[in-house]
Amino acid sequence: MNTLEHLMEYIEKSPSPYHAVRSAAELLEGAGFVRLEETEPWSLAPGQGGYVTREQSSLIAFRLPAVSLESWRMTAAHSDTPTFRIKNDCLNGVPGYIRLETEGYGGMNRSSWLDRPLTVAGRVAVRTAQGVETRLVHMDRDLLTIPSLAIHQLRDVNKGHEYNLQKDMQPLWGLEGSPSLTALLARELQVEERDILSHDLMLCPRQKAVTLGPSGEFFQAPRIDDLACAYATLEGFLNASPLPHAGHLWCLFDSEEVGSGTRQGALGSFLPDVLERLGDLLGLDGQGKRRVLAGSFLLSADNGHAVHPNFAEKADPENRVYPNRGVVIKKNANQSYTTTGLTQALFAEICRQAGVPVQVFANRADEPGGSTLGNLLGRMVSVPMVDIGMAQLAMHAAVETAGSQDPAWMVQACAAFFSADFRRTADGCYQFQEVNKRHDIQEL
């Protein structure tokens, strides 16, 4: 299987952030990484890899250096996606029908969710003989839909309609007398209904990941933002050559689509806590930890807007990105992206040496874009960063589209980043320690 096939498989297995973390954990364990718990002491040998999760929806994996730690190489992506979170089993008020009561999560393209098969995924808290535990669930069947109103009853809908989350977007579950969601969950998990205590469940589209175009130029799937970056950075992390003096971290955070302000989000203490514990494990004192952090570097990986074939005027006149033309470097004057001239130059040089094409994205000056993990994570861990991603279409729609070649470019770029032997020699200067193909030393 190639990178795209692996990515599509990862997306299929990851209908919720909890499943995305579990799928990543399976790949890490298959590569020999050891699962650790935040509540237990940690013990790892030089060169060994481990990982830890938080709230089952965020994960940080790490590979210790074989000799001594001078810097961390890190990537960060997010596990969540805009969707509908389920509040209650039944929404009353319309005789004859059963609806689930939902609430919007993140900034979504609401109309893209209409009239398509949907199902339910997430985690359920159940009572056990020992106490309370959570179990992941994915109803692998067509269960729900959000029906649109017929054009005969809303004749101006094509002139623009504001979709109200409470009025227009509640999903149809069944007819009066249909089994409840709780009943189906109990059957799926093989527990009694009374033992289901609460849940973190969401709707997810049923469309499978597919390739499109005369030569398969595109792929289409739910959750490309940001599971495409999550998987590609992970494969790059696993493929990278270890360095004797640099440790590797791969981060997957939840809650990005709602501001990251949770204990499992980029604004929580997850990454600082992990770095602190790893520093202790390696015998670093306070000054040593800060020295290592100052020499570290992070790739914030989240996708960017490709030029739209029907709305090309929405793209910046000069900084335009397209599918299958390489890894995207994202820049913003107001620092909603963390890229600076220096971090852009360093990452672009790493990609050049690895033979990976790059392209630069910036929003139109009159259209502010969204922010990503980097500028939020930088408040918790102060390291140089560059915002990168893949060019995609229909961002935050129920189903999105991207270039089939770009995941492989991202994997290659991340593997090169983790493997490149560069060091910060002074403020504003990075030096490559190995002679490149032209047999000279590159300095930035």
Q: HEC profile for 321-372?
A: CCCCCCEEEECCCCCCCCCCHHHHHHHHHHHHHHCCCEEEECCCCCCCCCCC
**β-pairing verdict for 172-175 and 196-205:** unpaired
Q: Is residue 34 part of a domain?
A: yes
CA angle, residues 308, 300, 322, in degrees to nearest 5: 20
- The three-class DSSP label of residue 250 is strand
The H-or-E segment that residue 78 falls in is strand 71-78
Kind of pairing between the strands at 218-221 and 327-330: unpaired
C-alpha 250/C-alpha 330 separation (Å) is 20
Three-class secondary structure of residue 22 per DSSP: helix
Q: Per the structure, how many domains does the chain have? A: 2
| pLDDT tens-digit map of 231-274 | 999 999 999 999 999 999 999 999 999 999 999 999 999 999 99
Whichever domain contains 228, its CATH number is 3.40.630.10
Question: Using one digit for the tens of pLDDT, what is the confidence trace for 25-62?
Answer: 999 999 999 999 999 999 999 999 999 999 999 999 99
Using DSSP bridges, classify how beta strands 422-426 and 429-432 pair: parallel, antiparallel or unpaired: antiparallel
Contact 109, 396 (CB under 8 A): yes
> Looking at the structure, do residues 243 and 101 belong to the same domain, yes or no?
no
Give alpha helix (H) positions in 95-239: 181-189, 224-239
State whether 148 and 68 are in the same domain: no
Structure tokens at 178: 């249909």
Confidence (pLDDT) at 372: 82
CA distances from 308 to 174, 222, 316 (A): 38, 18, 11
Same domain, 38 and 104: no
**Are the CB atoms for 380 and 76 separated by under 8 Å?**
no
Task: Looking at the structure, tell me whether residues 54 and 162 fall in a common domain.
Answer: no
Whether 360 is covered by a domain: the verdict is: yes
> Does residue 397 share a domain with residue 248?
yes
Q: Which of 205, 232, 267 is the last residue of a domain?
A: 205
Q: Are residues 249 and 391 in the same domain?
A: yes
Instruction: Give the E-state strand segments of 194-324 in sequence order.
Output: 196-205, 210-212, 218-221, 246-253, 297-301, 304-305
**Which of 170, 205, 240 represents a domain boundary (last residue)?**
205
CATH number, domain of 148, equals 2.30.250.10
Q: Is residue 393 part of a domain?
A: yes
Structural domain that includes position 197: 83-205
Residue 268 lies in a domain: yes
With contact defined as beta carbons under 8 Å apart, do 225 and 392 qualify? Answer: yes
Asked if residue 217 belongs to a domain, the reply is: no
Q: How many whole angstroms separate alpha carbon 368 and alpha carbon 424? A: 32
pLDDT of the residue at 434: 65
Angle between helices 341-354 and 406-419 (to 10 degrees): 100
Q: What is residue 402's predicted lDDT score, i.e. its pLDDT?
A: 98
* Strands, sheet with 118-127, edge to edge from the N-terminal-most edge strand: 132-138, 118-127, 196-205, 83-91, 97-105, 172-175
Among residues 153, 171, 205, the one where a domain terminates is: 205
Cis peptide, bond prior to residue 89, ω within 30 of zero? no
Q: How far apart are CA 118 and CA 146, in angstroms?
A: 8
Considering the domain architecture, whether residues 96 and 74 belong to the same structural domain is answered as no
Question: CA end-to-end span of the chain, whole Å?
Answer: 37
Q: 86 forms bridges with which residues in the sheet?
A: 102
Provide the pLDDT for residue 438: 36
With a threshold of 0.75, does the pTM exceed it? Answer: yes
Question: Is residue 437 domain-resident?
Answer: no
Based on the fold, state whether residues 375 and 330 are members of the same structural domain. yes
Instruction: Give the residue ranges of the chain where pLDDT is below 70.
Output: 1, 434-444
Is residue 227 within 8 Å of 81, Cβ to Cβ?
yes
Do 261 and 114 share a domain, yes or no?
no
Residues 247 and 371 in one domain: yes
Domain contains 442: no
Quick check: is 214 in a domain? no
Residues 303 and 416 in one domain: yes
* Secondary structure class of 56 (helix, strand, coil): coil
The Cα–Cα gap between 436 and 353 comes to 8
Provide the b/e sequence for 2-33 (b: ≥16 CB within 10 Å).
ebbebbbebbbebbbbbbbbbbbbebbeeeeb
d(Cα 77, Cα 71) in Å, to the nearest integer?
20
Residue 117 is classified by DSSP as -
Task: Give the pLDDT confidence score for residue 89 in this predicted structure.
Answer: 86
Gap between the Cα atoms of 283 and 65, Å rounded: 13
Q: How far apart are CA 288 and CA 302, in angstroms?
A: 31
Structure tokens at 6: 């692996």
CA distance 247 to 174: 52
Cα–Cα distances in angstroms (integers) from residue 396 to residues 110, 220, 298, 337, 400, in the given order:
9, 13, 25, 18, 7
Q: Is the same domain home to 95 and 181?
A: yes
